[in-house]
Chain A
Amino acid sequence: MTRISEIFTTMEYGPAPESPALVNQWLETHARSFGHYIGGAWREPHGGERFPTLNPGTGQELAQIAQGDQEDVDAAVAAARAAYPEWRALPGHARARYLYAIARQIQKHSRFFSVLETMDNGKPIRESRDIDIPLVARHFYHHAGWAQLMKELLPDQVPVGVVGQVIPWNFPLLMLAWKIAPALAMGNTVVLKPAEFTSLTAIAFAELCDEVGLPPGVVNVITGDGRTGAAITKHPGVDKVAFTGSTEVGRIIRNATAGSGKKLSLELGGKSPFIVFDDADIDSVVEGVVDAIWFNQGQVCCAGSRILAHEGIAERLTEKLRARMEHLRIGDPLDKAIDIGAIIDRSQLEKIRALVDQGVADGAKIWQPSWSCPSEGFFYPPTLLTEVTPSATVAQVEIFGPVVTMITFRTPGEAVELANNTRYGLAASVWTENINLALDIAPKVKAGTIWVNCTNMFDAAAGFGGYRESGYGREGGLEGLWEYTKAAWLEEAKKAAKHAPAEPAIAPGFDDEDEEEEGVAEALGGGMPAIDRTPKMYIGGKQARPDAPYVMAIRGPDGALVGEVGRGNRKDIRNAVEAAHACKWASATAHNRAQVLFYIAENLAPRADEFAARIRALTGGTIVEAEREVAATLDTLFYYASYADKWDGHVHHTPSRNVTLAMPEPLGVMGILCPEGPPLLGFVAAIAPAIAMGNHVVAVPSERWPLLATDLYQVFDTSDLPGGAVNIVTGRREELAQVLAAHDDVDGVWYFGSAEGSGAVERLSTGNMKRTWVSHGIARDWYARGSGRGEEFLRQATHIKNIWVPYGE
């Protein structure tokens, strides 16, 4: 039998390798050894140290990569700093031209980049060729447009400065694009460190930047391991850190940058649910699972690694999955006829093995195809774990390999409960032919991206990023641009703050009840003694005594006692957070939230004189000033009432037949540490945007002048604000701030106060990686547009969820 007649009979697939010749030639040109790209020039690593980068498909060394040390990072940051003023000053159109040129170059060299990516990373050539590299080009095209339009669409924003970016090994060039394109578009300069396993496409990209004539220092590429990354994130010359990688490292970075004033965006791990209802197109679901967990060997932060299947179809789905897995082909990543390539490194392979072993030991039933993996290189077969319980390790931790678990559910409610039973919140996939069900489930799942009847869809026009311990910030779309800009007023305020003393951490003007009390007599009216007023905490819509009956005396400017408030402690915060969770305010309609905010203003207005008098008693200001504050407060309530039903999302133009809904969702339960003053306006301007967006707030009012906040709860009571939507805990602000920041069931914290207090909040937020927004001691003018109120408050009170809904019958 001849060769051809044999194949004619068996219909086997033969090898179909993509040629590595051009990439090898490029590597040889560089003698398989690379340096850092700093200030537009290639430099030897300062310490002279290099390490090998391997081809995971063969285990063979591809090249030697420079290990960056502190001096290298210093040089790169200095180069980026030097390039920044000119780059930032370029017209948007000029930056757009550079980004456009990069996009074109990527397209022209697309096969080179695809082959290089596959050789360095081990992903199938089909994926780098058909998915990664086209998305890279698309990202630069899209952001060329944002550069062009920045001035018009973001008139109040300025660049952040020098950005330090640390990216992972699973989508090396794509993650580079997600980081560099928006940074450059918005006028920042960057120092980027690729992952140590996959530096080569970043190096080739640096060469490409050279080719298009990008000004030196705008993009700097430093290679190295985690030490290099740490040097970048800690560098005092870096204004913003952007990181994609593990939650573990994200936590370290949050800690290291806390209090530094650096902006931070984190895209971290995930354990994304893949929810299958009983009316789904099951054959398409099976292909969805292939795209969810056997894409890039499952080394995808948003991989649908937890199948939640309706109990009635679980068995059929399992059978179909097994049959499909049997037909998957694993092998040489450069082969054009394989589905699954190589795991990045032996260490990762061992981690996957250990976790699967543990899953089996915990009682999971394992299924793998009958065929075996190649013996050379790092390969792991597609794996299905059934009979997994939610408590099993494999159901909770990110495996980052081609391993999917299956758990069954009975009802849509239970599916949501299981989906949200995770610390992560990156993405979710929902499969049903019932649009009512799909659009009911999508908002209920806590994740930054929801794919309806599809999975792992990405586009430059749609923001990507997480909830919970999956990080914060978005990449892509309009929502991604905020990470690379800051408010223009803030830049001015920062400059001014350099020449002025910072806001004090502890404000004067209060003392503790155990200290000697003075001036009580002055507080009494002439003749009849005033009726004692006891402001309480306000928790769950009820006035509540402090857990420990201690009070703080609140005095006027002359030292006279104006009142006493409870000194809240951690248990009061605990109670307030529980009350906030029990509230249903988030499900009120936007119209309803607007009505309530208007109504608060309506009920405050008749008491304007009383509030003005209280402000005067506390601050000693003039009547004009006090009346101005009350008027501004009413205006602010109207302002956020107006926005409540107008902070719309977007429908992004992603290039496939679907609607991509970018919906702002409230963060959840927020802790808000209100500014010291102005006492009434500061309190209202801090909490109103949060509740307008549907958050449930635990507010700690000004420590010095809390009585305006406690006076206000009577107004809340008469304004249909449901109990628990706003909770007020008075007391030592720094102390309470730390309890809120450390609380694992609080989703976000705003802190308007000292630099030290800001740092503490950021540091303590790492428990659940909650979102923080802190002022770093920069005072805000609460009467000014931008600094005192504006869209930034609404953005900080929401995160964007992108829901992809393909359509067509």
Chain B
Amino acid sequence: MVSDSPADGRNPGMPLDLDWVRSVQANLSAIERRAATIPGRRSVKKEWQAAWYLRAITCMDLTTLAGDDTDGRVRRLCAKARFPVRGDILAALGAQELGITTAAICVYHHFIETARRALEGSKVQVCAVSTGFPAGLSPFPQKLAEIKASVAAGAQEIDIVITRSHVLTGQWERLYDEVRAYREACGEAHLKTILATGELATLRNVQRASFVCMMAGADFIKTSTGKEPVNATLPVGLVMTRAIRAYQERTGYKIGLKPAGGIRKAKEVLPWLSMMRDELGVEWTGGDLFRFGASSLLGDIERQLEHHVTGRYSAAFRHPLA
């Protein structure tokens, strides 16, 4: 379906194509209707469900972004990221050799150092939210400096927030320039652009912002900070998924999607994975191209995995705390 893909290289971005941005059509009712049928059209049961849950864990950005975070709290989180599921459960599932970890842990700049040390020797990435997260309204030079400082501190992934007003007022060039600068500041670190879709008002805006961020060199587009009133919804995810597909069709580059915020229950991840699989392909159900930003989701998945093993419903306290 795609023309000659330039391998699996990192998206270099492209010049801002305003015609493309402005030609976007996103019909809310039709998108909602499609999104509403995704959970009903696909059902994953038994071993398949257990395997899909394990996969979901490997797509997880285990997150703590609270004002009362401490080094100790972050170290506990990192330990959980390295060993997200109890060993006896993994053994019962026959999944030890999969080396299940979360994809990343996601923290404020302040804790990058702590996390990096705690995760040494593991494949878990350290991700820092940046650019004046969550509102993103700090002075621009300061935001660039923040990215650079985080990269210098060892963050491998940077989650930036876009300036929502650029979207709401249609200043696509300014949005493009901003994200382009962030990308440069990231260097080798991967750039995840948070659209804060709950504050963009329309799906058309979501899709336009998605295109501009990808054109500016985003590696991932991410729905939310987790701090907006509405976070990751399937209709929003569907629109971003379609944008990713269109971008790949046009440029050959694969962009990742990160829904974040509000995904707390294990059963909620299945429609997301189905959507990624059916709309974009199996590749988009792996951590390279798909992430859940979540803090409490893992606990519920653990309980479901234990239920699969024992046939009994599980309790939260049976699983090690993060």
Which residues of A approach B to under 8 Å, CB–CB? 2-8, 10-16, 126, 129-130, 279-284, 287-288, 291, 319, 322-323, 327, 335-337, 339, 433, 453-454, 656-658, 806-809
Q: Which residues of B contact A130 (CB under 8 A)?
A: 37, 40
Q: How far is the CB of B47 from chain A (nearest CB, A)?
A: 5
Known: A4-B54, A287-B30, A291-B33. 17 other contacts (CB 8 A): A3-B94, A4-B94, A4-B95, A10-B282, A126-B41, A281-B30, A284-B26, A284-B31, A322-B1, A327-B278, A339-B41, A433-B27, A454-B29, A454-B30, A806-B29, A808-B32, A809-B204
| Cross-chain contact of B43 among A279, A282, A337, A808 (Cβ < 8 A) | A337
How many Å from the CB of B5 to the closest CB on chain A?
A: 15
Which residue of chain A has its CB nearest to the CB of B284? A11
Contact B51 A4 (CB under 8 A): yes
**CB neighbours of B26 from chain A (8 A):** 281, 284
In the bound complex, how far is the Cα of B28 from the Cα of A2, in angstroms? 43
Residues in B37-63 with C-beta less than 8 Å from chain A: 37, 40-48, 50-52, 54-55
> CB-CB < 8 A to B95: which residues of A?
2, 4-5, 8
Q: Give the complex CA separation of A770 and B145 in angstroms.
A: 76
Q: Can you pick out 19 interface pairs between chain A and chain B where the beta carbons lie within 8 Å of each other?
A: A3-B94, A4-B51, A4-B95, A5-B97, A7-B48, A8-B54, A8-B98, A11-B55, A14-B48, A16-B45, A126-B41, A284-B31, A284-B34, A319-B1, A337-B44, A454-B29, A806-B30, A808-B32, A809-B203
How close is A603's CB to chain B, nearest CB, in angstroms?
50
Within the complex, the shortest CB–CB distance from B269 to chain A, in Å, comes to: 12
Q: Most chain-A CB neighbours within 10 Å: which of B34, B51, B202, B282?
A: B51
Task: Please give me the 6 A-B residue pairs with the lowest Cβ-Cβ distance, nearest first.
Answer: A2-B94, A806-B29, A284-B30, A7-B51, A14-B48, A336-B43
CB pair A4 B50 closer than 8 Å: yes
Chain B contacts for A809, CB-based, 8 A = 28, 202-204
Chain B residue contacts of A2, Cβ below 8 A: 93-95
Taken residue by residue from 245 to 269, chain B's Cβ proximity to chain A (1 for < 8 Å, 0 otherwise) reads as 0000000000000000000000000
Question: Cβ of B31: which chain A residues have Cβ within 8 Å of it?
Answer: 281, 284
- Name the one of A6, A14, A281, A323 contacting B46, with C-beta atoms under 8 angstroms: A14
| In the complex with contacts A4-B95, A12-B48, A288-B30, A280-B285 CB distance below 8 A | no
Chain B residues with Cβ below 8 Å from A3 are 47, 94
How far is it, in angstroms, between the C-alpha of A15 and the C-alpha of B48 when the chains are bound? 9
| Chain B residues near A280 (CB-CB < 8 A) | 25, 27
> Does B273 belong to the interface (CB within 8 Å)?
yes
Interface string of B180-201 (1 = CB under 8 A from A): 0000000000000000000000
Which of A14, A280, A283 has the most chain B CB atoms inside 10 A of its CB? Answer: A283
Contact size class for B? 35 or more
Indicate if B277 sits at the interface (CB-CB under 8 A): yes
Instruction: Report Cα–Cα, A281/B98, bound state, in Å.
Output: 41
Question: Distance (Å) between the CB of B14 and the closest chain A CB?
Answer: 20
Q: How far is the CA of A801 from the CA of B247 in the complex (A)?
A: 40
A5-B98 contact, Cβ under 8 Å, with A11-B55, A12-B48, A284-B27? yes
Q: How far is the CA of A283 from the CA of B28 in the complex (A)?
A: 12
B313 to chain A, nearest CB (A): 20
Which listed residue (B29, B37, B47, B242) contacts A7, Cβ 8 A?
B47
Residues of B within 8 Å of A281, CB to CB, are: 25-27, 30-31
Residues A5 and B51 in contact in the complex (CB < 8 Å), given A284-B27, A808-B28: yes
Interface-central residue, B32, B33, B97, B277, by most chain A CB under 10 Å: B33
In the complex formed, the residue of A with least CB distance to B201 is: A809
* Chain A residue nearest to B42 in the complex (CB): A337
Residues in chain A near residue B32, CB distance under 8 A: 808
Residues of B within 8 A of A807 (CB): 29
Q: Is the CB of B44 within 8 A of A16?
A: yes
- Give the distance to chain A from B11, nearest Cβ to Cβ, in Å: 21
A13, A282, A288 — which one has the most chain B CB atoms within 10 A of its CB? A13
Docked Cα-Cα span, A284 to B29, in Å, equals: 9
| Beta-carbon contact of A657 and B29 below 8 Å | yes
Complex CA–CA separation, A336 to B48 (angstroms):
14
In the complex, what residues of A have CB within 8 A of residue B1's CB? 319, 322-323
As a 0/1 sequence over residues 276 to 290 of chain B, the CB contacts with chain A under 8 angstroms (1 = contact) are: 011100100100000
Residues of A within 8 A of B40 (CB): 126, 129-130
In the complex, chain A residues whose CB is within 8 Å of the CB of B30:
281, 284, 287-288, 453-454, 806
A776 to chain B, nearest CB (A): 46
> Is B29 a contact partner of A808 (Cβ separation < 8 A)?
yes
How far does the alpha carbon of A20 sit from the alpha carbon of B26 in the complex, in Å?
Answer: 40
Q: Determine which of B27, B52, B98, B203 lies in contact with A11 in the assembled complex, contact meaning CB atoms within 8 Å.
A: B52
A337 and B94 contact, Cβ closer than 8 Å, known pairs A4-B50, A279-B25, A657-B29: no
Cross-chain contact of A4 among B42, B47, B285 (Cβ < 8 A): B47
Give B101 Cβ to nearest chain A Cβ, in Å.
13
Q: Which residue of B lies closest to A124 (CB)?
A: B41
Contact of B25 among A12, A282, A656 (CB under 8 A): A282
Give which listed residue, A5, A14, A279, A433, contacts B45 with CB less than 8 A. A14
**Closest residue to B23 on the A side, CB-wise?**
A279
Chain B residue at smallest Cβ distance from A129 = B40
- Minimum C-beta distance from B174 to chain A (A): 23
Chain B residues numbered 111-159 whose CB sits less than 8 Å from any CB in chain A: none
Q: Nearest residue in A to B204 (C-beta to C-beta)?
A: A809
**Which residues of chain A are near B93, meaning CB under 8 Å?**
2, 4
A335 nearest in chain B by CB position: B43
Report the bound CA distance from A284 to B202 in whole Å: 16
Q: Which residue of A lies closest to B98 (CB)?
A: A5
Residues of B within 8 Å of A8, CB to CB, are 51, 54-55, 95, 98
Q: How far is the CB of A676 from chain B (nearest CB, A)?
A: 54
Contacts of B55 in A (CB 8 A): 8, 11
